[in-house]
Amino acid sequence: MAEQKTNKQNDKKITLNITTPRGVKFTEKADMIIMRCIDGDLGVLSGHEPVSAVLGDGILRIKNNGIEKKLAVFGGIAEIDKRTVNIFSTIAQPPEEIDLERAEADLREAQATITEKAEEKHVQGLHVLIHRSMVRIQVSMHPGEIEYFDEDNEDEHKKDKADES
């Protein structure tokens, strides 16, 4: 796909804007953004063709300078352009905003009630809740920024680190 074509322009970064009903929540430059669409993951690098996509419930991963950040994003749409990705979603939570205990409690409760009740509409809602709490838990399990292994960028990455120290 278009990602391969633009792999060589890795020095160019892509700007991510996340807008929620509480205002523009998140603006960041990144090397790569991986988002969960309704039919699977979509990875975006700088220079992507203009696409608008429907997002599902899942983890949004932002890779930048060898560091990966995770956000829980539930629903909404993404508008991808050459240099920018605009995400409009009702819920977008970074790990520090997630209440882990509540997510775990939600998960337990939903799993307990799903076996008891059989109403179809209700079950659907519970499945959504289970999935969302799992995503929340997963995101908050990695509160720090994780380093990931990037073959292309490895040397550069080491250099960066050396510069920093």
Partner 1 sequence: MGSRKDIKQRIANVSSVEQIIKAMDMVASTKLVKARAQLNGVRPIYHELKRVVDELSSRMDAHSHVFFKEREVKNSLYIILTSDRGLSGSYNTNILEKSFEHMQGKNEKIFVVGAKGNEYFKKRNKNIIRTIVGVADAQVYYFSESIAKWLTDFYLSGEAKEVFIAYTHFENVLSHTPIIEKLLPVATRTMDNTDLSDKKYEPSIDVFINHVVPLYLHMNIFRAFSESDTSEQAIRMVNMNAAGKNANEIIDELTRIYNRKRQAAITQELSEIVGSANILNKGGLK
Q: Which residues bind partner 1 (CB under 8 A)?
A: 19-24, 37-39, 42, 49-54, 75-77, 79, 86, 88, 90
Contacts with 83 (C-beta within 8 Å, 6 or more apart), sequence order: 12, 14, 15, 46, 47
Of residues 82 and 142, the one with the C-beta less far from partner 1: 82
Query: In the bound complex, what is the minimum distance in angstroms from residue 128's beta carbon to partner 1?
Result: 14
Query: In the bound complex, what is the minimum distance in angstroms from residue 52's beta carbon to partner 1?
Result: 5
Amino acid at 41: D
Of residues 10 and 20, the one with the C-beta less far from partner 1: 20
Query: In the bound complex, what is the minimum distance in angstroms from residue 164's beta carbon to partner 1?
Result: 34
Rg of the chain in Å (alpha carbons): 18
Query: In the bound complex, what is the minimum distance in angstroms from residue 82's beta carbon to partner 1?
Result: 12
DSSP string, 42-60: EEEETTPPPEEEEB-EEEE
Q: How far is CA 152 from CA 12, 55, 65, 139, 156, in A?
A: 14, 28, 11, 26, 8
Chain-centre distance for alpha carbon 64: 13
Of residues 77 and 112, the one with the C-beta less far from partner 1: 77
Query: In the bound complex, what is the minimum distance in angstroms from residue 68's beta carbon to partner 1?
Result: 23
Of residues 41 and 154, the one with the C-beta less far from partner 1: 41
Of 157, 161, 148, nearest to 62 by C-alpha is 148
CA distance 60 to 149: 18
Of residues 23 and 144, the one with the C-beta less far from partner 1: 23
